[in-house]
Amino acid sequence: MSFIDWAVFNAFLVWIVVDGLRRARGTNTLETYFAGGRTVSWWAAGLSIMATQASAITVIGTTGQGYETGMEFVQTYFGLAFAMVLLSIFFVPLYRAQPILTAYEFLERRFGPATRTLAALIFLVSRCLAFGVVLYAPSVVMSAMLGIPLTWTVLGIGALTTLYTTVGGVRAVIATDVKQMLVIIGGLLLILVLLLVEVVPALGFTGALRVLGATGKLNAVEFVPESLEFVPQLRGSAVKSFWNEKYNFWSGTLGGLFLMLSYFGCDQTQVQRILTNPTADESRKALLMSAFAKVPMQAGVLFLGVLLYLFYVLQGPPLLFDPSHVKKAGDAPLSSVIAPIEAEHRGAAEQLRRLAGRIASGDANGAEVDAFRRAVATERRARSAARREVLLHDPEVAALAPAQQKARKTPNDTNYIFPHFVLSHVPMVFVGLIMAAIFAAMMSSADSTLNALTASSIVDIYRRWLRPAATEAQALRASRVTSVLWGLAATGAALLFRGTGSVIEVVNQIGSFFYGSLLGVFVLAMVAPRAGPRAGVIGLCGGMLSVLATYWFLSVEFLWFNVIGCVGVLVFGGVASAFDRRR
């Protein structure tokens, strides 16, 4: 990055931190620290909801996903609008009927302290680990791309976010989220314009779509599932069932509906946003803002990734995107192994560029289109083969037995595609802005998580169990100390994640184990008015056990765990409630 880009980037960081610190004025009670005094307008809360969901991995990972597999991921969001409507009708009145500060307070009013505490602990454990990933995953990419040591990147972002969140509370979180979201949208629009300026004059807009269509990357809706086997298969089975498919209309709409209901309705990170509005109607508007904006935005981000692919088809795609892979591939003896792969890749890339022009103009015959598709597959295979060789030549992996080497997964460089484009092809000044957008996405998720973790720790644990008689000033002081501790814990966890790719995958999946069950216990509270404290705890545990049993015994995609957890709670909670009534 040039000096000017660094200046733009640093100016953005200073602006965000100063703006966050300014919000400390008037933040002198738990009500203002965690609910902003219930004075936040719907549009600010709505933008904060979107910014909280848009992590840096959403920006760099989703564009990378568009590049690699096309637009199919957008289907995960098909259930979002319907979830927001259901939340507005059923959840918002529950949350806004009482002046609660966390979602789990509602559970105590309905099921007693055990269910509330269990739900709060589930949230704290799963979110704390996820918080470390929110800081770590993009830091790895950004430190590799910018040449800053990983420790400094994690410490820098962790410290800045903890500073303004601790001082300013949720007001600082929402005020900075609004600005961060605008920077994210601005950065993405800028990239869209830059890509269109490169691609459209070369191929024409319809021509560009024709080329992308031939690659199959415009696969935004898939109604017909690949498998019509509706009986879930046992874990380890070679047969794929309907429940194994990650991205199609059905899993996106139904599985996505439950995921979004759980995330926006039961995760304190998001629920806290709708507790900051003056009225229930404003909370509804904040939720519905996402319902309108999220699908087009997500489709737009994925389309950016698809356009990025087309850009590299015209420019010649690199064999490796991760700078650490590029460095290793240049050293002997790996360089001699990579050379033939590179030659094959170069040949495929040349063919792609030549045939893309023919397809775009509509002059390509069937044989040329088939040759183009073969070149797409060859280019992708060569990239994967090169990454595989980089892995196998790693001293640690090279020392393993062949069977162990075979078991190692080929490293993925999807998250490096977008930053590679920004740093190699975006003009000066704009690079600083785009980097600011990526860091904005990182901070906007981290600050919300930090404040939500603090809110639940203080309201559901400290004030409920440890110091019920604490004064407002003592509780606020404890909140600030807890916020710093959570910031330190997450930063420490992020640093511990170094070199543990598989751990991160597991952490990302942890949320799926609990989310559906959390949703289930809230639904149980609504649909079973006679269900008591025992039903709440048994239902919650039963839901989590249902998900665990499904994970151990059946081969089912993670999106469906939310449905299974929710149904599990209703079944176990319902049965426990029936027994309670009989006694």
Partner 1 sequence: MSSSVNRPPFGSWPRCYAIVCAVALGYIALLYWFVRAFNHPGGPA
**Is 305 in contact with 88 (CB distance < 8 Å)?**
no
26 is an interface residue for partner 1 by CB under 8 A: no
Token pair 């199919």 in the structure block, residue: 72
Member of 175, 194, 199, 310 binding partner 1 (CB under 8 A):
175
Rounded to an integer, what distance in angstroms lies between the CA atom of residue 292 and that of residue 289? 5
Query: Is residue 273 part of the contact set for partner 1 (CB under 8 A)?
Result: no
Residue 466: exposure state from Cβ atoms within 10 A (0-12, 13-18, ≥19): exposed
Min dist. Cβ of residue 369 to partner 1 (A): 5
> Tokens at residue 483, please?
């916020």
Query: Candidates 280-288, 312-320, 346-354, 574-582 — which segment interacts with partner 1 by CB under 8 A?
Result: 280-288
Give the residue with the Cβ less far from partner 1, 281 or 505. Answer: 281
Size of the site for partner 1 (CB under 8 A): 51
Least distance between partner 1 and beta carbon 527 (Å): 20
Told to check if 81 binds partner 1 by CB under 8 A, we report yes
CB of 89 vs partner 1, minimal distance in Å? 7
For residues 460 and 116, the answer to whether their CB atoms sit within 8 Å is yes
Is 296 an interacting residue with respect to partner 1 (CB under 8 A)?
yes
Any contact of residue 85 with partner 1 (CB under 8 A)? Answer: yes
List, as own/partner pairs, every contact residues 373-379 make where C-beta atoms lie below 8 angstroms and the sequence separation is at least 24, other chains included.
Answer: 373/214, 373/215, 375/348, 375/349, 375/351, 376/215, 376/352, 378/344, 378/345, 378/347, 378/348, 379/317, 379/345, 379/348, 379/349, 379/352
Distance between CA atoms of 495 and 503, rounded to whole angstroms? Answer: 13
The answer to whether 219 contacts partner 1 (rule: CB under 8 A) is: yes
211: contact with partner 1 by CB under 8 A? yes
Q: What are phi and psi of 317, to 5 degrees?
A: -75, 145
> Both ends of the chain: CA-CA distance in Å?
71
The window from 14-22, 78-86, 139-147, 380-388 that contacts partner 1 (CB under 8 A) reads: 78-86
> Among the candidate windows 123-131, 263-271, 278-286, 464-472, which touches partner 1 by CB under 8 A?
278-286
Sign for the pseudo-dihedral over CA of 154, 46, 254, 213: negative
Q: Closer to partner 1 by CB, 84 or 334: give it.
A: 84
* Cβ atoms within 10 Å of 253's Cβ, excluding its own: 16
Is residue 250 involved in binding partner 1 (CB under 8 A)? no
Do the Cβ atoms of 449 and 127 come closer than 8 Å? yes
Judged by CB, which is closer to partner 1: 86, or 190?
86
Pick the binder of partner 1 from 291, 349, 452, 493 (CB under 8 A). 291
Specify the stretch interacting with partner 1 by CB under 8 A; choose among 130-138, 292-300, 330-338, 496-504. Answer: 292-300
**Residue in the structure block whose two tokens are 């850009």:** 311
- Residue 103 interacts with partner 1 (CB under 8 A): yes or no: no
Q: Cβ distance 161 to 132 under 8 Å?
A: no
Minimum gap (Å) between residue 373 Cβ and partner 1 = 8
Cβ proximity to partner 1, 217 vs 328, nearer residue: 217
**Residue 299 interacting with partner 1 (CB under 8 A):** yes
Closest C-alpha among 188, 291, 223, 218 to residue 72: 218
For 120, 487, 563, the CA distances from 535, given in Å and listed in that order, are 17, 35, 19
User: Under the criterion CB under 8 A, does residue 40 sit at the interface with partner 1?
Assistant: yes
Residues found near partner 1 in the complex (CB under 8 A): 36, 39-44, 74, 78, 80-82, 84-85, 88-89, 174-175, 209-221, 223, 249, 278-279, 281-282, 284-285, 288, 291-292, 295-296, 299, 359, 364, 366, 369, 372-373
